[in-house]
Every structure is written in C-alpha cells, then in structure tokens.
Amino acid sequence: MCQLHEMEAEFENEVRKGRDLAADNRKLQRQLAEQKNQSEADRRQVAEITEQCHALQQRVKTLKRQLDEAVT
C-alpha cells in the first residue's frame, strides 16, 4: 500500500511538472512572437530611416550644386 501511495505521489509530481512545462512553453512562445513582431517593426523603421537618409543626402548634393552654380 505504501508503494502505491509513493507511485501516485510520483505520478502527480510528473503531471504537475508537465503542466508547468506546458505553461512555460506557452509563455516562451508568446515572448518569441512579441520579439518577432518587435524585430519586424525595427526592420521597417531602419528601412524608413535609411530611405530618409538617402533622400537627405540627395538634397544636400542638390543644394551644394545650386550653391556652386550661384557662386560661379
């Protein structure tokens, strides 16, 4: 009888560990999804800033050319 109780207790511990692991897994999956979303948002922002930088560089070149033309 004592061995049966020990086995039942061990089984309950394993079931609890399984539930805990499943909960941890769901939490990690949510965190991963959040990180993926943030990474995608960051990527879009970098692309937008890069595009703005190129546009500003073109504007600077144009202004320099216009200045050179006005001076000469």
Q: What is the pTM of this model?
A: 0.68
Residue 26 has pLDDT above 90, yes or no: yes
Distance CA 44, CA 25 (A): 29
Residue 6, class by beta-carbon neighbours within 10 Å (0-12 exposed, 13-18 middle, 19+ buried)?
exposed
Residues in the chain: 72
Residue 57 has pLDDT above 90, yes or no: yes
Distance CA 18, CA 21 (A): 5
Maximum alpha-carbon separation in the chain: 105
